[in-house]
Amino acid sequence: MSELQFSLDSFSAWQAILWCLYPMTVLVGLELLARSIDDDDDQDGGKMIPALQNYSV
Protein backbone atom coordinates (compact mmCIF):
# COMPACT_ATOMS: atom_id res chain seq x y z
CA MET A 1 0.00 0.00 0.00
CA SER A 2 2.90 2.33 0.61
CA GLU A 3 3.93 1.94 -3.05
CA LEU A 4 0.58 3.35 -4.13
CA GLN A 5 0.95 6.29 -1.76
CA PHE A 6 4.43 6.96 -3.12
CA SER A 7 3.19 6.91 -6.72
CA LEU A 8 0.36 9.31 -5.86
CA ASP A 9 2.76 11.68 -4.14
CA SER A 10 5.23 11.64 -7.02
CA PHE A 11 2.54 12.59 -9.58
CA SER A 12 1.79 16.30 -9.21
CA ALA A 13 -1.49 18.09 -9.93
CA TRP A 14 -0.23 19.94 -13.01
CA GLN A 15 0.92 16.66 -14.52
CA ALA A 16 -2.56 15.23 -13.98
CA ILE A 17 -4.13 18.26 -15.67
CA LEU A 18 -1.74 17.99 -18.61
CA TRP A 19 -2.43 14.27 -18.88
CA CYS A 20 -6.14 15.06 -19.27
CA LEU A 21 -5.71 17.98 -21.67
CA TYR A 22 -3.05 16.80 -24.10
CA PRO A 23 -5.25 14.25 -25.94
CA MET A 24 -7.86 16.95 -26.58
CA THR A 25 -5.13 19.34 -27.74
CA VAL A 26 -3.88 16.73 -30.20
CA LEU A 27 -7.41 16.16 -31.55
CA VAL A 28 -8.05 19.89 -31.97
CA GLY A 29 -4.69 20.27 -33.73
CA LEU A 30 -5.52 17.43 -36.11
CA GLU A 31 -8.91 18.99 -36.85
CA LEU A 32 -7.32 22.36 -37.63
CA LEU A 33 -4.77 20.65 -39.84
CA ALA A 34 -7.50 18.76 -41.69
CA ARG A 35 -9.47 21.97 -42.24
CA SER A 36 -6.41 23.80 -43.55
CA ILE A 37 -5.86 21.15 -46.23
CA ASP A 38 -8.79 22.09 -48.44
CA ASP A 39 -8.88 19.99 -51.59
CA ASP A 40 -12.50 20.79 -52.35
CA ASP A 41 -12.86 22.36 -55.77
CA ASP A 42 -16.14 24.17 -55.15
CA GLN A 43 -15.69 27.41 -53.26
CA ASP A 44 -19.33 28.02 -52.33
CA GLY A 45 -19.54 25.36 -49.64
CA GLY A 46 -20.98 22.58 -51.80
CA LYS A 47 -24.38 24.12 -52.53
CA MET A 48 -25.85 22.58 -55.64
CA ILE A 49 -28.57 24.95 -56.78
CA PRO A 50 -29.77 23.98 -60.28
CA ALA A 51 -31.38 27.39 -60.90
CA LEU A 52 -27.98 29.07 -60.62
CA GLN A 53 -26.18 26.71 -63.02
CA ASN A 54 -25.29 28.11 -66.42
CA TYR A 55 -26.51 25.58 -68.95
CA SER A 56 -26.41 26.59 -72.56
CA VAL A 57 -29.15 24.58 -74.21
**pLDDT reported for residue 8:** 66
In whole angstroms, what separates CA 53 from the centre of its chain? 35
Residue 8: give the domain boundaries.
1-35
Q: Is the pLDDT of residue 31 over 60?
A: yes
Q: Over pLDDT 70: what percentage of the chain?
A: 53
Inter-CA distances, 33 with 1, 11, 15, 46, 49, Å = 45, 32, 26, 20, 30
Q: Is the pLDDT of residue 13 over 70?
A: yes
User: Please, what is the average pLDDT of the chain?
Assistant: 76
Residue 7: inside a domain, yes or no? yes
Q: Helix and strand tally (H, E) in the chain? A: 2, 0
Residue 12: inside a domain, yes or no? yes
Confidence band (pLDDT; 50, 70, 90) for 25? Answer: very high
Check residues 28 and 34 and name the one with the higher pLDDT: 28
- Range 19-34 average pLDDT: 92
Strand, coil or helix: what is 16?
Answer: helix
- Residues in CB range of 40: below 8 A, 6 or more apart: 46
Residue 52: inside a domain, yes or no? no
Residue 49: inside a domain, yes or no? no
Residue 50: inside a domain, yes or no? no
